[in-house]
Amino acid sequence: DIPSLAETFADDFPIGAAIEPFQTEGPKAELLKKHVNWLVAENVMKPDAIQPSEGTFKWTNADRIVAFAKENGMALRFHTLVWHSQVGAWFFKDAEGRPMADETDPAKREANKKLLLERLDAHVRTIVDRYKDDIASWDVVNEVIEPADPDGMRASDWYNIAGTDFIATAFRAAREAGGPDIKLYINDYGTDNPRKRDLLYELVKRLLDEGVPIDGVGHQTHIDVHGPSVDAIIASMRKFAELGLDNIVTELDMSVYAWNDRRDFGADIPEDVIELQAKRYGELFRAFRDNKAILSGVVFWGIADDHTWLNGFPVKRTNAPLLFDRNDQAKPAFWSVIGIS
């Protein structure tokens, strides 16, 4: 019988996993119950899943994950109230059904912005109100920084129509609906990259100065066996901690390929790559534990290698980014993480 991941880190921080509702039954449910004490929905709490059309809320799939967590004494995170991806196109259409982003008339643009922020406010309040007693940790906005876009802000429909007001609106609505006890996060990937980190820092600092209720930064931490460095990951957390913010590793996985590598190892990942992965996972968790004062949890984006978004992204190839293999068996990376002292 192998040790439990969550128990191993019980004095440090919770260990989480992103799951789909079907994984709340069968062997995966057992693996999850043993190793994690925190859950997040991989897809079913995203905007398009919860409110596919205006005023129609779909709770069934999200509720399954909430019920499974409660039955097993696991905490939950919510991912995500706002995103540019996996969001219904209806949000961004005006009363006549035209894309708001195409509008050129200033008065109509202003009216569109107001309508979009009203829709956003209703979306956030309805969801937070439903889950506020079950979910304490919330991704309010996801991936709003893009260094290559003007102002370093992702040129999404949200930003193009409403500027940064959509961020302030979402956080304020979440706080008002959820009260002081829920924790509100701004979530992004590549937060180790100094340029992106500093853009995020400046945005968050300005919003905090304006009284926007942000509690912490979610660092997705989709990394690979070659980079980024553990030091760069921790340095980013330190920087946000200086603002009095919490940090969470929200979507951890470690691809066995560099981003631009277009090979496909198939089911037989080379031994040296698996060993490199184990070494790096161990270094990472050692740093996480050493910095637990500024890091309040670690969530994996999946649990075992048979089900991971990286098997299909950025290209279709067999990946192995997690601690358990395609047969739910502990990998060298698992033992490396367990073995840090």
Q: Which residues bind ligand XIL (CB under 6 A)?
A: 42-43, 142, 220, 251, 309
**Closer CB to ligand XIL, residue 18 or residue 100?**
18
Task: Report, in Å, the least distance between residue 251 CB and ligand XIL.
Answer: 6
* Amino acid identity for residue 6 in this structure: A
- Would you give the DSSP letter of residue 323? S
161 in Cβ contact with 92 (< 8 Å): yes
Task: Report, in Å, the least distance between residue 25 CB and ligand XIL.
Answer: 19
**Closer CB to ligand XIL, residue 50 or residue 100?**
50
d(C-alpha 95, C-alpha 169), whole Å: 21
Residue 220: closest CA among 202, 199, 244, 193? 193
Identify each DSSP E strand in 202-314 by its residue range.
216-219, 222-224, 246-255, 298-300
236 in Cβ contact with 197 (< 8 Å): yes
Task: Report, in Å, the least distance between residue 42 CB and ligand XIL.
Answer: 5
In terms of DSSP bridges, do strands 15-19 and 222-224 run parallel, antiparallel, or are they unpaired? Answer: unpaired
Task: Report, in Å, the least distance between residue 307 CB and ligand XIL.
Answer: 9
Task: Report, in Å, the least distance between residue 312 CB and ligand XIL.
Answer: 8
Annotated active-site residue 251? The verdict is: yes
d(C-alpha 102, C-alpha 34), whole Å: 51
**Token digits of residue 54:** 């205006």
Cis peptide before 228 (omega within 30 of 0): yes
| Catalytic residue (choose from 71, 251, 271, 283) | 251
- Residues designated as active site: 251
